[in-house]
């Protein structure tokens, strides 16, 4: 076992697993929902802000909305 393997295994033990979430459109708003239970935890009118928030919380976005060319909120 190399030093890098040892460090990586130690890091995985210390860090909790990242929560998996999805970002989807719900009417005029966008939502963040835990996966696979699909429990809605956040709602906002701008998908970009939700993506930033998920990044800061270290949540893994497993499903995301498709950015629409005419809709700046979806970017």
* The pair of three-digit structure tokens given for residue 19, joined into one six-digit string: 């929560």
Task: Answer whether residue 35 is part of any domain.
Answer: yes
Asked if residue 48 has pLDDT above 70, the reply is yes
Task: Answer whether residue 4 is part of any domain.
Answer: no
Gap between the Cα atoms of 67 and 31, Å rounded: 14
> Full-prediction pTM beyond 0.85?
no
Answer with the residue of higher pLDDT: 10 or 59.
Answer: 59
Q: How many domains does the chain have?
A: 1
Q: What is the pLDDT of residue 4?
A: 75
Task: Answer whether residue 9 is part of any domain.
Answer: no
Gap between the Cα atoms of 47 and 66, Å rounded: 10
Domain that holds residue 44: 17-66
Q: What is the pLDDT of residue 12?
A: 65
Name the most confidently modeled range: 24-28, 39-43, 57-61.
Answer: 39-43
């Amino acid at each position: 076992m190399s030093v890098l393997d040892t460090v990586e295994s130690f890091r995985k033990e210390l860090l909790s697993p990242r929560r998996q979430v999805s970002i989807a459109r719900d009417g005029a708003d966008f939502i963040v929902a835990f996966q696979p239970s699909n429990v809605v935890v956040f709602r906002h009118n701008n998908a970009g802000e939700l993506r930033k928030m998920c990044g800061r919380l270290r949540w893994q976005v497993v499903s995301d909305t498709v950015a629409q060319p005419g809709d700046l909120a979806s970017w």
